[in-house]
Amino acid sequence: MSIAFLTKSDGAVVWRGLMVMQAIEKLLRQVAWSPLDYLIIDLPPGTGDIQLSIAQLIPLSGVLMITTPQELSLIYVRKAIEMFRLVNVPILGIVENFSTYFCQKCGHEEKIFGENGGNILAKEFQLNILQSLPIDSQFRQGCDQGRPIIQDNQTILSSKFSNLANQIVEIININKTSTE
């Protein structure tokens, strides 16, 4: 399900807080979800109405903090971690996106967005960094084509995503067991 199904595809979504909250509530409560093992909600960065509404509307097993290595990203993720902790939502861990780039021609590695941002957050907030994901043009192409990279078990990136999914499931199961 996507909010894009409820909006015009050719224009911007210009909604104030109340409209956003109503749309989220409809997505969560009025969609005929089949039985779910997991419901993953991809949110924009920040600490706004969307994040707070979801945290208040439904019980969450946890949130995954996504960052890039650069300081600007860390600033927003720090605020999000603090907000989710204030509303008692467990932080499952940190994923550092765009951690590195490997040149397709020569194989040279470059840290375009800086380095160790995920590690800095993990240490600062006593969280685990679950994965560092490189920039990958095949992944971008797969997303553009609607073809998940996970289908290709031969790439390092698909392996990283599989490992990340397994880590998240394990953490949720551990958290669930410890609260029962």
Average pLDDT, the chain: 86
Alpha carbon 65 to chain centroid, angstroms:
6
Length of the chain: 180
3-state SS, residue 158: helix
- What gap in Å lies between CA 61 and CA 12, rounded to an integer? 31
Residue in the block written with tokens 């995503």: 161
**What pLDDT shows up at residue 151?**
58
Q: Residue ranges of the alpha helices (H) in the chain? A: 17-29, 49-57, 71-86, 117-125, 137-145, 156-179
Structural domain spans, the chain? 61-157
pLDDT value at position 137? 79
Q: Which CATH number is 61-157 given?
A: 3.40.50.300
- What does the pLDDT look like over 70-88, one tens digit per residue? 999 999 999 999 999 999 9
pTM of the model: 0.84
